[in-house]
Amino acid sequence: MNSRPSPVRFTLETRDGQARAGWLDTPHGRVATPCFMAVATLGGLKGVTVQQAEELGQGVLLGNTYHLALRPGAETVRALGGLHTFTGWRGPTLTDSGGYQVFSLAANRTISESGVKFRNHLDGGLLDLTPEESIRIQRTLGADIIMAFDECPPSDAERSVVEAAVGRTARWLERSVAAWRSVGPHGGDQVQALYAIVQGGLHADLRAASTADAIRHDLPGYAVGGLAVGEGAADRNRVLDAVVPLLPSDRPRYLMGVGTPLDLVEAIARGIDQFDCVLPTRMGRHGIAYTDVGPLRLKRAEHARDPQPIDADTPSQAARVSRGYLHHLLKTGEHLGGTLLSLHNLAYYQRLMTRCRTAITSGTFSTFVDDFRRSWPEADDLPTD
């Protein structure tokens, strides 16, 4: 059992079906759930300042342990005051453990029972990431929420591979928890809340076993990992249908790395509270804006003389200019185009979370989901680089 109170607390306010509205209280502020956490891999949102993110109502920023350990280094971040002082971000932060890089950098790593040795992509140097080292780095960075180190297999992995990853994730979780509970705060830094990560691929029995192992540690929160790694939406939703009811109702539930607006709405309908994804800023840099009727591709010639704003219902700095102007910026290679679209997409995601929460608290979420499914077609041709 947890030996000390968590600095991050979840309060469930109401339900509508499986969908939940609640509050996440952290040392750096209170966040309404469901919430979308914007990805700031190296500590900064690409093309967006922390002041702009605050103005958009962004609740949580997510940093990456692997990348920050390489540049500028966790000790440098700590010497400069920790993630919050280092970045200027005043709200809550979360750091991934580096477990996703076990999947995404498969060609440059070697897995053993001890951990993962990465031949890093910058200079070929070796980064030895163990559960203990991941926790140490995350503590040194000073995030409010930290993640247990896990093994994330690809969606098409053989069952034997997924089964081995589930077993290793369980053993690494044991070590992550021990490191989290044994290491005190550094120089007055806030003690972080640790989330476990459930793995198991598309196998319901492996997911159930991983969930049972995770919840026995009685942690402040639980994440569903190993999705958005190549599977289709139907398979992802089937996994959530099986896993989410097994998670404690009094703890936050975090779906890692997902996704499009429709993905988020579907996951909220299944009881998920927290999300992160690179899509809002990545698609913005590719000239794509999210709207209720799907992604709007502003590089297309049809927008060259379009006087309309992207979306009159989503306020951001991008709402002041026309689609034609954004088309011009994108076609001429002006970075401002990607910045404005990133601002719009972040604003759209925040507004979507607010609309979902309002529908949950008013008891109309099922109608909201049905309407959203009809109006927002799933796109299969978005860029992935």
Residues tagged active-site: 96, 276
Report phi then psi at 342, rounded to 5.
-65, -45
Tell me the C-alpha distance between 122 and 110, whole Å: 17
Q: Do residues 196 and 226 touch, judged by C-beta distance below 8 A?
A: no
Identify each DSSP E strand in the chain by its residue range.
9-16, 19-26, 29-33, 35-39, 60-64, 93-96, 109-111, 116-119, 126-129, 145-147, 193-198, 221-224, 253-255, 274-277, 288-291, 294-297
Q: Do residues 20 and 34 touch, judged by C-beta distance below 8 A?
A: yes
Tell me the C-alpha distance between 371 and 34, whole Å: 19
Question: If we measure between CA atoms, which residue out of 201, 208, 218 comes closest to residue 150?
Answer: 201
3-state secondary structure of 129: strand
Cα Rg for the chain, rounded, in angstroms?
20
Question: If we measure between CA atoms, which residue out of 164, 186, 240 comes closest to residue 75?
Answer: 186
CA 241, chain centre distance (Å): 19
Tell me the C-alpha distance between 313 and 53, whole Å: 18
- By residue count, the chain amounts to 385
Q: Do residues 141 and 83 touch, judged by C-beta distance below 8 A?
A: yes
Tell me the C-alpha distance between 322 and 305, whole Å: 9
| Half-sphere exposure at residue 313, Cβ-oriented, CA atoms within 13 angstroms | 11
Tell me the C-alpha distance between 172 and 180, whole Å: 12
Q: Do residues 50 and 88 touch, judged by C-beta distance below 8 A?
A: yes
